[in-house]
Amino acid sequence: MDSNSKVFVAGHKGLVGSAIIRNLEKKNYNNIYWISRDNCDLRNKARVDAYFEQAKPEYVFLAAAKVGGILANRDHPAEFIYDNLMIQTNIIDAAYRNGVKKLVFLGSSCIYPKMAKQPITEDELLAGHLETSNDAYAIAKIAGMRMCRAYRQQYGFNAVSLMPTNLYGPNDNFDHNSSHVLPALISKFHGSLEKSKHWVVKLWGDGSPKREFLHVDDLAEACYTCMEKYEDEEHINVGTGKDVTIKELAKTIVDVVGYKNDYEWDTSKPNGTPRKVLNVDKIKSLGWEPKISLREGIESTYEWFKENVNV
């Protein structure tokens, strides 16, 4: 892939897709393609086929997906499995049939068993039961990964799968009801800054689960590294290899936002998986390393949020 290659980024407005575009633009790629949902619903096979036949991209980053936190996954499992299956199936098949040279598929670390050995290595896939609160999404992502492998084995299609950990950064979803934990906490604490001193923010669970967080700009560089260097049919983890408790995360966000009132944990709400941190030896062997610390990333994400909260 060079600066004149035709590169299609599916999901260009989302957290991951927008970061991939920023990364490519910094590297002076000048032939980047994307398409709005109004012009092409990626769940519609005929529309996707027509787009690929017309645009003929050479390389594809498949970052389009329906994503959300525990509440969204719990309340809308049918949409999470249907939308994601349709989007990835249509794009992977159209890419193969229209001569795409390489495709990078983005999955999620929720594909791993709820009680996977920690840190999670790639071979933990399908070694146990999934976390039930987001198994519809996880099963869809496992199917996409297996589709990439099947098309490689049967057709020789060069498709690779990345499994990133929990992501955050510019263009994240900060809605309290549908977002992941880090942006939800930023939004909750920021929205409570002007409340009276008696106001108490309520947080889900008991704060004990441990999670790993990767800034999306670090992921974008990992995607580029794998497009350039990774050729294995098996998926590859992308993360920091370090985790924190949700309580520790909340304390950091409280400090960054400047929230002064109390907050408490609602233990009637689910915790989700007890711990989830990835073994990232495989991707580090390609020369990639995360560069943005959690504190630094939260600070820059909060600045972006404040500038865009009313947009």
Interhelix angle 181-191/294-308, rounded to 10 degrees, is 60
Question: What region, left, alpha or beta, does residue 189 occupy, with left being phi > 0 and alpha being psi -120 to 50 degrees?
Answer: alpha
State how far the Cα of 224 lies from the Cα of 228, in Å rounded to an integer: 6
Nearest one of 38, 9, 39, 143 to 83, comparing CA atoms: 143
C-alpha triplet 227, 228, 232: angle, nearest 5°: 65
Contacts of 296 (CB under 8 A, 6+ apart): none
State how far the Cα of 195 lies from the Cα of 255, in Å rounded to an integer: 17
Check if 230 is active-site: no
Q: Which of 137, 224, 230, 302 is catalytic?
A: 137
State how far the Cα of 219 lies from the Cα of 288, in Å rounded to an integer: 10
Catalytic residues: 137
